[in-house]
């Protein structure tokens, strides 16, 4: 009976030791994660509290693709309008800060072909540079480039393919604007 008790005691001791180690590991992991600065994107506090009114200038278009600056500018305005804590103003002199920028690259390239070597799918890539600064130019709050890509289908009907590309440009603009907002707010 004593050998069975010793076996059970040793067996129980190993399990308890394992649970204690796991519990300690979980506590240490939680402690480390709480101090690492992790947070959800777009919820940072990198913008000074006194910057509440933002003017968003029409972006420059340094590409050969017409009118994409209008779509991207509109999406950037929408991103800041939808988020609490910001007011997008229509006049520069009423703002605390201004966002300026330019679309510096827009390209499309074939990425998929069929068995007859016809193009089946394209990838559109858009890059824009942005500058977010106080209205008087005294402080640059954020500056950087944002790039995004989106695929769209090819079609023999040129009008249909242009519709696909336009949809891809709208998606690119929306994603770029969202990424810009997150980077500005998180100062990334």
Q: What is the pLDDT of residues 47-87, one digit of tens each?
A: 888 999 999 999 999 999 999 999 999 999 999 999 888 89
Which one has a higher pLDDT value, 69 or 37?
Answer: 69
Q: Does domain 53-186 have CATH number 3.30.160.150?
A: yes
Mean pLDDT of 105-125: 96
How many whole angstroms separate alpha carbon 42 and alpha carbon 186?
A: 6
Q: What is the pTM of this model?
A: 0.74
Burial class (CB in 10 A: 0-12, 13-18, 19+), 172: buried
- Which strand (E) or helix (H) includes residue 164? helix 158-186
Interval 31-38 mean pLDDT: 49
Helix 158-186 and helix 68-82: axis angle, to 10°?
40
Span 123-138, average pLDDT: 96
Among 10-24, 25-39, 152-166, top mean pLDDT goes to: 152-166
Cα–Cα distance for residue pair 35/46, rounded to 1 Å: 18
pLDDT exceeds cutoff 70 at 30: no
Tell me the average pLDDT across 148-156.
Answer: 96
Q: Output the pLDDT for position 182.
A: 93
Q: Given the structure tokens 């509109």, which residue do they identify?
A: 74
């Amino acid at each position: 009976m004593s050998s069975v008790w010793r076996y059970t005691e040793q067996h129980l001791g190993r399990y308890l030791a394992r649970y204690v180690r796991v519990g300690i590991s979980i506590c240490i992991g939680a402690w480390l994660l709480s101090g690492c600065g992790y947070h959800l994107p777009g919820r940072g506090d990198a913008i000074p509290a006194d910057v509440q009114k933002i003017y968003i200038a029409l972006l420059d278009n340094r590409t050969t693709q017409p009118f994409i600056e209008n779509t991207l500018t509109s999406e950037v305005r929408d991103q800041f309008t939808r988020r609490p804590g910001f007011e997008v103003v229509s006049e520069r002199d009423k703002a605390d800060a201004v966002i300026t920028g330019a679309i510096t690259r827009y390209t499309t390239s074939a990425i998929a072909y069929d068995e007859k070597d016809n193009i089946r799918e394209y990838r559109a890539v858009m890059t824009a540079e942005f500058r977010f600064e106080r209205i008087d130019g005294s402080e640059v709050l954020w500056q950087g480039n944002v790039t995004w890509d989106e695929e769209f289908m090819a079609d023999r009907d040129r009008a249909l393919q242009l519709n696909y590309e336009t949809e891809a440009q709208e998606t690119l603009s929306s994603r770029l604007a969202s990424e810009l907002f997150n980077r500005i707010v998180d100062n990334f």
